[in-house]
Amino acid sequence: MTENTNPELNNELSPLVPPPQSMSATAQLIKHARTELGRVISGQDALIEEVLMAVLCQGHALLEGVPGIAKTLTVKALGKLLGLGFQRVQATPDLMPADILGTSILKPGADTFTFHAGPVFTDLLLVDEINRMPPRTQAALLECMEERQVTSDSVRRPLPAWFTVFATQNPVDFEGTYPLPEAQLDRFLMKIRVGYPSESDERTILERHHAGSGAGLLEDAHIEPLSQEMLAAARAEVHAIRIEPELYNYILALARRTREWPTLLLGASPRAAISIMLVAQAAAAFDGRDYLVPDDVKRVLPPVLRHRVMLKPEAELEGFDSDRVLNDVIASVPVPRQ
C-alpha cells in the first residue's frame, strides 16, 4: 500500500549557499518548526529536533515507540513543513521489492518497456512498521539508503538529493515481524525512541481532537512550509560547524571503547563514528554555536549508537539495555580540555 501526497518525484536540492557568520538560518528553522509542528504535535520537542537533525545531516531515522504516540503523524507533518515530496509505504508481510522500487511495464501497442517509479522516488519516504517487511524487501532498501539510487534492469536511477527514509517500528509487538539485520540497522543515522506525552500535553491532544475533525487534524493545521533557501542555508551551517582536533580524538575514543566494552558483543563501526560527528554538528547548530563541544557528542551518542551496538545475552539477562551501557561508556572516557 502506498500513499502519495506529492506528485513531484524529482525535487532537486537547492545548491548549498555559503554559511553566514551566525547560525541564523538554523535558529529560524527551529523556531518555525516548533511553531508549525506544535499546531499538530503536542510536546515531543526532542522528537521534533532529532527528525530535523536527520534531514539536515542527510541521514535516515528509525522511530521506535508503541502505537498511538504520533510517530507517523510527526513524519507526515514534517513533510508538509519542509515542502518536500512525501510518500508513505505501509509495510506488510507480502510486500515485494517492486512495490517500493518500481517496475518496468510493457507499453501497450509497442515492444518496449517503460519504467514506472515506485514510492521510493521521493524526498521523504515513510516506511510504517518496517519490521513487517519480509527480508527480501528490506534488502531492496539497502542500496536506496546507502547510495541513494535504484538499479533496475541494469540501469542506475538516482533518487532525489533530499531523499530521507523515516521508518517506524513497534518495540512490543513481534508477531508477524522480521527483525532488521545489523546491515540494515547500520544504514540508519539515528534510532529515535518516542515516549508517551506528559499529562498536560495529552490533555491538549484531547482538546484538539474534540475541537477539530480528528482524522483531518493535519490538514486543519495549515502548516506553512519552509523556504528551500532557508533549508539549504541551515544544512550549510550544520556542515560548516568547526571541529577541533581534540574532539576528533574524543569521538574516536568513545567509538573504540564500545568495541572492547565487557557487556557488548558488537561495538560501533567506523561509519558509526562518522555518524556521531555529523549529528553532533547538528546539535551544536541547534544550540546556536558554530563550533563543537564535548557535550554535543555526549548528547547524540545514545540515538546514534543504540541500534548499532549489541549486548551480550548475559548482560540482557542482568537488565542492561543499550542506553545504560552507552552512558557508562561516556562516563569512562576522559573529556578533552577546552
Tell me the CATH number of domain 241-332, given options 3.40.720.10, 1.10.8.80, 3.30.1300.10, 1.10.357.10. Answer: 1.10.8.80
What's the CATH class of domain 2-211?
alpha beta
200 in Cβ contact with 73 (< 8 Å): no
Q: Do 2-211 and 241-332 fold alike per CATH? A: no
Closest by alpha carbon to 301, among 261, 259, 254? 254
- The pLDDT value given to residue 266: 92
Answer left, alpha or beta for residue 180, where phi above 0 means left and psi between -120 and 50 means alpha.
beta
Residues 77 and 221: their CA atoms lie apart, in Å, by: 10
The angle formed by the CA atoms of residues 207, 205 and 128, to the nearest 5 degrees, is: 145
Strands 2-4 and 164-169: unpaired
What is the phi/psi pair of residue 37, to 5°? -70, -25
164 in Cβ contact with 55 (< 8 Å): yes
26 in Cβ contact with 238 (< 8 Å): yes
The amino acid present at 16, given as its one-letter code, is L
Domain coordinates in residue numbering, the chain: 2-211, 241-332
In which order are the strands placed within the sheet that holds 188-193? 2-4, 86-90, 124-128, 164-169, 60-64, 188-193
Mean pLDDT in consecutive groups of 10 residues from the start of the chain, 338 residues: 45 41 82 88 87 94 91 89 91 93 83 87 94 91 92 89 93 80 91 92 86 68 86 92 95 96 94 96 93 96 95 90 95 88
